[in-house]
Chains A and B, each alone.
Chain A
Amino acid sequence: MTRIRFQQSLEGLKENLLVMAGLAEQSIQRAIEAYRVRDLSICDLVSRSEVAINRMERDIDQAALDLLAMEQPMASDLRFILSVIKINADLERVGDAAKNISERVRTIDQLPAAELPVDIPRMATLSADMVRKCLQSFIEGDAELARSVLMMDDAVDAMNRSAYKSLTKLMEEQGHLAPQALSALMICRSLERVADHATNIAEDVIFWVQGADVRHHKSVMAKQAAAAAALESAEQNPKQ
């Protein structure tokens, strides 16, 4: 097989990205655990990981740039490197989100405990699950698995929206619980972001494997549905 060195470089790039992915996934798990058991030492671990994640992001970007410049990759190689660069950025954001959650945990720890009408652990589990699945799809080049991740995003969005509603209602009714509610809201938002990033990673995997650009698929499908509905109503009401 020709271009052995290039093949090895691509393998190396994939491995490094997976190491970074492992760190990011671990950070999220730890942040959720910290929230669950209110253990501040875990927060420290998350902070330290974030430094490592940022450094790896820079290294991976540099390696990808070098491959683009030196090897003139084509077709699937080109799509792979492009998706590595994008997944790289999303993973770094996941790391950031984990850090934000752990910061919120520190804040909450200072506040008096409160009963909040949101199921953060469940949302956390779902988001973490999405991250695990999208990384699995990247490891195996499995576009179907990636597509299933896209479907899970709706659930997380819905949970976030209802969390917003119930927490704002709580803040209106019981103003003294506002600090706790706000922290919880911010944690929900971070979890929703994690789910978004997992969705992005899944879309990049599909692009790499199939060469299909399925970004913003929801908005595209929504527009198509709206157009179809408008056409139907126009046919039914010719006078308008």
Chain B
Amino acid sequence: MGVGIEVTNLNAWYGTNHTLQEINLNIPANHATALIGPSGCGKSTFVRCLNRMHETNPIARVTGSVKIGDVDIYADAKPVQIRRRVGMVFQRPNPFPTMSIYDNVASGLKLNGYSNRRVLDETVEQSLKKSALWDEVKDDLKKKSGASLSGGQQQRLCIARALAVDPEVLLMDEPASALDPVSTSKIEDLIFELKSQYTIVIVTHNMQQAARVAEKTGFFLNGRMVEFDSTHKIFTNPSDKRTEDYITGRFG
């Protein structure tokens, strides 16, 4: 099951660049929440603050609190622990190129010390089924490398890999932006299915995609969160003029 995320007074810096300013929002459990906004508005930075991935950049700094469930991920936990509860799918599919499909999906478990063959087999099968890839690869699990699949399949492989460690939250940073429309639809259908078991946060440039998959949408602009409301409201009658200007394309 998923958990809710409570963000309070989150500020983020890259060196002297104040990338995120006073972000406050509550992401509901077992729902999909979309984050939209122009390039450079901070939505990707925000999402990377949710699993402490922005810390991989040595000049990054954060103040404020992010609570996933009842755990403050900055004060009460280490990055490695958090990343096992919060999975991430990136913009460009990035399967491990030297590993087979099986090893890719199992990598999260194997690298964290699990070695029971039966458990691994079951987890790999479950994860690939959940990401709607099982039927396409079940005969080539150990023979084909992760990089030999098509773009859409690779992305579903990455989703399976993220699901294999059984996270509670799934962060997706423009997961379908590098894919063709058919693969995009498959990924969106997948998100719809996964919502009931995980809390999903999806960053997207594609507003129609946000409208299709998410119950709540947040609009980011220049490091601030301008509006956060039900997707229906944001796209039919937003409260803030800046939101309206962005989604009707009248920006600039």
Partners in one complex: yes
Number of interface residues of A (CB under 8 A): 14
Minimal beta-carbon separation of A78 from chain B (angstroms): 7
A73 and B252 form a contact (CB under 8 A): no
A79-B236, A211-B236, A211-B237 given as contacts; is B247 within 8 A of A74 (CB)? Answer: yes
B238 and A75 form a contact (CB under 8 A): yes
Q: Which residues on A sit within 8 Å (CB–CB) of B248?
A: 3, 73-77
CA distance A74 to B243 in the complex (A): 11
Minimal beta-carbon separation of B204 from chain A (angstroms): 14
Give the size range of B's interface with the partner. 10 to 19
Which chain B residue has the least Cβ–Cβ distance from A74?
Answer: B247
Q: Which residues on A sit within 8 Å (CB–CB) of B14?
A: none
Minimal beta-carbon separation of A79 from chain B (angstroms): 7
A72 and B208 form a contact (CB under 8 A): yes
Cβ-based interface call for B58 (8 A): no
Q: Which residues on B sit within 8 Å (CB–CB) of A3?
A: 248-250
The 24 sampled A-B contact pairs (Cβ below 8 Å) are A2-B249, A2-B251, A3-B250, A6-B249, A7-B250, A72-B207, A73-B248, A74-B236, A74-B247, A74-B249, A75-B235, A75-B236, A75-B237, A75-B238, A75-B244, A75-B248, A76-B237, A76-B244, A76-B248, A77-B248, A78-B235, A78-B236, A79-B237, A211-B237
Q: A75-B247, A78-B235 are in contact. List 8 more A-B contacts (CB 8 A).
A: A3-B250, A72-B208, A74-B236, A74-B248, A74-B249, A75-B236, A75-B248, A76-B237
When each residue 208-230 of chain B gets 1 if its CB lies under 8 Å from chain A and 0 otherwise, what string results? 10000000000000000000000
Cβ-based interface call for A37 (8 A): no
Cβ-based interface call for A69 (8 A): no
CA distance A141 to B237 in the complex (A): 16
Which chain A residue has the least Cβ–Cβ distance from B244?
Answer: A75
Cβ-based interface call for A114 (8 A): no
CA distance A73 to B252 in the complex (A): 17
CA distance A125 to B237 in the complex (A): 36
B235 and A74 form a contact (CB under 8 A): yes
- A-B interface, 4 closest residue pairs, ranked by CB to CB distance from nearest: A211-B237, A3-B249, A74-B247, A77-B248
CA distance A32 to B200 in the complex (A): 62
CA distance A134 to B184 in the complex (A): 44
Cβ-based interface call for A1 (8 A): yes
Q: Which residues on A sit within 8 Å (CB–CB) of B208?
A: 72
Q: Which residues on B sit within 8 Å (CB–CB) of A76?
A: 237, 244, 248
Minimal beta-carbon separation of A6 from chain B (angstroms): 7
Q: Which residues on B sit within 8 Å (CB–CB) of A2?
A: 249-252
CA distance A74 to B238 in the complex (A): 10
Which chain A residue has the least Cβ–Cβ distance from B234?
Answer: A75
CB within 8 Å of B: which of A1-32?
1-3, 6-7
CA distance A219 to B69 in the complex (A): 46
Q: Which residues on A sit within 8 Å (CB–CB) of B244?
A: 75-76
Q: Which residues on B sit within 8 Å (CB–CB) of A72?
A: 207-208
CA distance A72 to B209 in the complex (A): 12
CB within 8 Å of B: which of A47-90?
72-79
CA distance A2 to B236 in the complex (A): 20
Q: Which residues on A sit within 8 Å (CB–CB) of B207?
A: 72, 74
B252 and A1 form a contact (CB under 8 A): yes
Q: Which residues on B sit within 8 Å (CB–CB) of A211?
A: 236-237
Which chain B residue has the least Cβ–Cβ distance from A10?
Answer: B248
Which chain B residue has the least Cβ–Cβ distance from A7?
Answer: B250
Q: Which residues on A sit within 8 Å (CB–CB) of B237?
A: 75-76, 79, 211
CA distance A72 to B244 in the complex (A): 14
B250 and A1 form a contact (CB under 8 A): yes
